[in-house]
Structure 1
Amino acid sequence: MTDVTMPTGSAGQTPEVPRSVFITGASGFIGRALAARYKALGAQVRGMDLIADPANDIVAGDLTRPKGWAGHAAGCELFINTAAVVSLAASWKLYRDVSVQGVRNCLDVAIAGGAKRFVQFSSIAALGWDYQGEADERSDVVIGNHYRYGVAKGASEHVVLAAHAAGEIDCTIVRPGDVYGPGSRAWLSEPMKMAKAGALILPNGGKGIFTPVYIDDLLDGVMLAAGLPQAIGQIFHISASHAVSCKTFFSSHWRWAGRNGTPHTLPLCVAVAITHVLWTVNRLLKKQGEVAPDTMYMFARKGGVSIAKAQQVLGYQPKVDLEEGLRRSEAWLRESGQIS
């Protein structure tokens, strides 16, 4: 951890370090990074994840069964829910159980435990993929039968905003961009496996919009959103200043895998048809995997996101540009033996 100071807000203010923080999904990529940053600042950090980690004060549990871990959250000032269905190929039932009822369970635990602030991790996926330009926090969330992950994220926001509007607890929602950096499974480890196997395929010539945000920048944005009073009741996009194409981002993985050129590509309609067949077969065989139509839709995103609100209200400023972020990411992949 290179930066263990609180980020500075738009008017020069620095959020107070919370006395205690509870994090769901505390062993995940983002949850683990948040816990390390808050601990380095002197906060007491507790958490919950699917597997217990007593050394880091993390108990086992999931959002659908809160009784087993609710007591561990009691007394924490700040409750951050990063736990989610981290999949683009899950069933509607799982999304509903976790992203709707599970988030309501988290709110109930936070309120019963005396938390003063609740921060919900949503995603820019809530905006969908088929929109133009730079979407801001007033833009529509996606609805419909496709892009289930994004629909579920939008539903989770509704649950949180309803609790805030009812005066149950002060809430803030953050919508991260595509978060990468050392420790990232979704945007480093898994694409690397696919690149090494020659199976990394992008739709529409790789022209889809990718919104990379380096993990350290995300932490800055979350801490501002979680600690500043002007963030209460608000939604914030926390991402990089500029989006890039999927081809630009994932060509690095292709190169790290020792391959020439750029990842393979297919027309979106073909990619969706192929992944639909594979997804259906996997479901029949009860096999897990991220080969699904929604994955292709995500890689075909037509628009970016605006971070103007986070900049103006919070004073958020991303510091790690893509070149530096990829350099650090490559170093981690080599250190962890994922590339030679």
Structure 2
Amino acid sequence: MTDVKMPLGTDGQTPRIPKSVFITGANGFIGRALFNRYKALGAQVRGMDLCADREHDIVAGDLTQPQHWAEHAKGCELFINTAAVVSLAARWQRYREVSVQGVRHCLDVAIAGGAERFVQISSIAALGWQYPELADETCDVVIGEQYRYGVAKGASEHVVLASHAAGEIDCTIVRPGDVYGPGSRAWLIEPLKMAKAGILMLPKGGTGIFTPVYIDDLLDGIMLAAGLDQARGHIFHLSSASPTTCMTFFSNHWRWGGRSGAPLRLPLFLAVALTQFVWRVNQLLKINSEITPDTMYMFSRTGDISIAKAQRMLGYQPKVSLTEGLRRSEEWLRASGQIT
């Protein structure tokens, strides 16, 4: 990575580059991108993930057993938690252990290790799938039996804000939109697999709102949120300047998968019933799959999110258009042999 620069804040200020950063989920899509960006800026970067990467100073561990990796985080100025259950198919207990209790473990490790700032990577899923147009950070988070991933994200935010309110450590929460780009499992690799198999289905005729944000733009936003004083104690939405529909976005995967026409479109009630059956069968057969009712709810979102707060307070400005982001994504998929 060459010529890497910090993004500029609202008043043209440059966020301070931390001397040292610790990242959980450091081998993941967002975690590795952050790792590389901070390292290119000259920071000392360490991390934790399920699998170790000694070459990059990443130790093995998970959020439920912090005693195995806490020592590795000592002395880092900035602690960024990207680790979570990145799935719409997990059980309630798994979400609670990792995405809620595990976040409290991260806070404890960060505080004990002397970190000055804690950044939690949440998700707009915390808002649920039925929210008003241009929903901002004051909207309520989702609760209930459905959409477990979003409920867990909202609960994780409560843990972080409680720590900040108690004066334990300065915290900031980032809610990314639908993060895509080279290496994205959620929005490139998995939907492409479904498209190739002919099982990529879109509820509500594909009219559900999709809020894409290219990975490079997200990194800019996170660095502004992590490095500017005015971001302390706040939640920020980070997405593109304008949304699209699920049909527009996923038609690309359908084409990349060598299929003509468009993905299968179903009424929401039928899509939920069908995926409920498939999900239960997959559980019995111990098959990992993201074909779940919660995926159908996610593909049925009713509104866009507002990034006005991040623009106003941080100077956040997404630069990569959807057309350009998809072009780069397709180029990566071809280079990695996933499409021909």
TM-score scaled by structure 1? Answer: 0.99
> Is residue 267 from structure 1 mapped to residue 259 from structure 2 by the alignment?
no
Secondary structure of the residue that 1:26 maps to in structure 2?
A: coil
> Is residue 288 from structure 1 mapped to residue 311 from structure 2 by the alignment?
no
The residue number in structure 1 matching 2:11 is 11
> Is residue 63 from structure 1 mapped to residue 63 from structure 2 by the alignment?
yes
Show CA shifts across 1:104-136 (max 9, x none): 000000000000000001000000001231110
For residue 13 of structure 1, report the CA deviation from its aligned partner: 0.5
State the one-letter code of the partner of 2:243: A
Show CA shifts across 1:60-106 (max 9, x none): 00000000000000000000000000110111100110111100000
State the one-letter code of the partner of 1:259: R
Secondary structure of the residue that 1:179 maps to in structure 2?
A: strand
> Is residue 207 from structure 1 mapped to residue 202 from structure 2 by the alignment?
no
| Match runs of 1:135-174 below 5 Å | 135-174=135-174
Q: Which moved more, 1:286-295 or 1:82-91?
A: 286-295
| Match runs of 1:43-54 below 5 Å | 43-54=43-54
**Using the alignment, how far apart are the partners of 1:84 and 1:98 within structure 2?**
6
Structure 2 unaligned runs (5+)?
A: none
**Using the alignment, how far apart are the partners of 2:329 and 2:72 within structure 1?**
34
State the one-letter code of the partner of 2:32: R
The residue number in structure 1 matching 2:92 is 92
Pair 1:37–1:57, CA change in 2 (3 A): same
For residue 191 of structure 1, report the CA deviation from its aligned partner: 1.1
For residue 3 of structure 1, report the CA deviation from its aligned partner: 5.6
The residue number in structure 1 matching 2:42 is 42
Show CA shifts across 1:279-312 (max 9, x none): 1222233332211100000001111100000000
Show CA shifts across 1:215-259 (max 9, x none): 000000000000000000000001000010000001111112222
The residue number in structure 2 matching 1:249 is 249
The residue number in structure 2 matching 1:81 is 81
**Using the alignment, how far apart are the partners of 1:195 and 1:284 within structure 2?**
24
Secondary structure of the residue that 1:134 maps to in structure 2?
A: coil
Pair 1:2–1:175, CA change in 2 (3 A): farther
The residue number in structure 2 matching 1:313 is 313
**Using the alignment, how far apart are the partners of 1:247 and 1:3 within structure 2?**
36
Secondary structure of the residue that 1:296 maps to in structure 2?
A: helix
For residue 197 of structure 1, report the CA deviation from its aligned partner: 1.6
CA RMSD of aligned residues (A): 0.9
**Using the alignment, how far apart are the partners of 2:314 and 2:16 within structure 1?**
14
Number of aligned positions between the proteins: 340
**Using the alignment, how far apart are the partners of 2:283 and 2:256 within structure 1?**
32
Secondary structure of the residue that 1:237 maps to in structure 2?
A: strand
Structure 1 unaligned runs (5+)?
A: none
Q: Which moved more, 1:280-289 or 1:210-219?
A: 280-289
State the one-letter code of the partner of 1:23: I
Show CA shifts across 1:33-54 (max 9, x none): 0000000000000000000000
The residue number in structure 2 matching 1:227 is 227
**Using the alignment, how far apart are the partners of 1:3 and 1:198 within structure 2?**
42
Secondary structure of the residue that 2:88 maps to in structure 1?
A: coil
> Is residue 326 from structure 1 mapped to residue 319 from structure 2 by the alignment?
no
| Match runs of 1:18-33 below 5 Å | 18-33=18-33
State the one-letter code of the partner of 1:253: H
Q: Which moved more, 1:284-293 or 1:269-278?
A: 284-293
Secondary structure of the residue that 1:13 maps to in structure 2?
A: coil
For residue 5 of structure 1, report the CA deviation from its aligned partner: 0.2
For residue 15 of structure 1, report the CA deviation from its aligned partner: 0.5
**Using the alignment, how far apart are the partners of 2:337 and 2:284 within structure 1?**
35
Secondary structure of the residue that 1:175 maps to in structure 2?
A: strand
**Using the alignment, how far apart are the partners of 1:114 and 1:34 within structure 2?**
21
Show CA shifts across 1:8-38 (max 9, x none): 0001100011000000000000000000000
